[in-house]
Amino acid sequence: MPVLNWHPPLLPGGQQVLAERGPRVPVQVSVHPKVQETLTSTGQAVPSSIGGFALIDTGATITSIDQNAALRLGLQVVGQRTVGTAAGPSERFLYPFSVRLLPFGLDLHCVSGMGVDLSGQNIIALIGMDLLHQGVLTINGPMGALTLSF
């Protein structure tokens, strides 16, 4: 497994990004590669990927994508699942998609990620333990660095 490091630049005030904003990584979300193959083989256009930020969330059991991004990518539903909310259990749709972690050059493929409302959060995806458990994640606070090995 390759070991990939990323040292986010300091904020204008000199603060560490990880301390101020958490493990928020520039990403591009896109159609799952297997869906891309199907679209290409049938002569259909593959929607362009969408850029933004993803938050690495070790408290989340499932990876999620902003519902609006899922719509823009034309993702087709592959299921629905119950998620716990402050108001009680709630149903959400599941979609196949991919997340490219740009600073790491790493693609994570998610068959059943959850569509959620991330508007106003400055992120388009949350990367949960369903993907993170496949690799090694190290947060080096003093160095202000993230290390991934997948």
Q: Given the complex with other proteins, which of 3 and 119 has the nearer CB atom?
A: 119
Rounded to a whole number of angstroms, the minimum distance from the CB of residue 42 to other proteins is 7
Rounded to a whole number of angstroms, the minimum distance from the CB of residue 121 to other proteins is 5
Q: Given the complex with other proteins, which of 4 and 39 has the nearer CB atom?
A: 39
Q: Given the complex with other proteins, which of 3 and 116 has the nearer CB atom?
A: 116
Task: Give buried/exposed letters for 4-38 (b at 16+ CB in 10 A, else e).
Answer: bebebeeeeeeebbbeeeebbbebbbbbbeebeee
When computed from its CA atoms, the radius of gyration of the chain, rounded to whole angstroms, is: 16
Report the largest interatomic distance among the alpha carbons of the chain, rounded to a whole angstrom: 51
Q: Given the complex with other proteins, which of 3 and 71 has the nearer CB atom?
A: 71
Phi, psi of 15 (to 5 degrees): -75, 155
CA distance 120 to 70: 16
- Binding stretches for other proteins (CB under 8 A): 20-22, 24, 32, 34-35, 37-39, 42, 44, 53, 55, 57, 59-62, 64, 76-86, 89, 92-94, 96, 109, 111-112, 114, 116, 118, 121-123, 126, 128
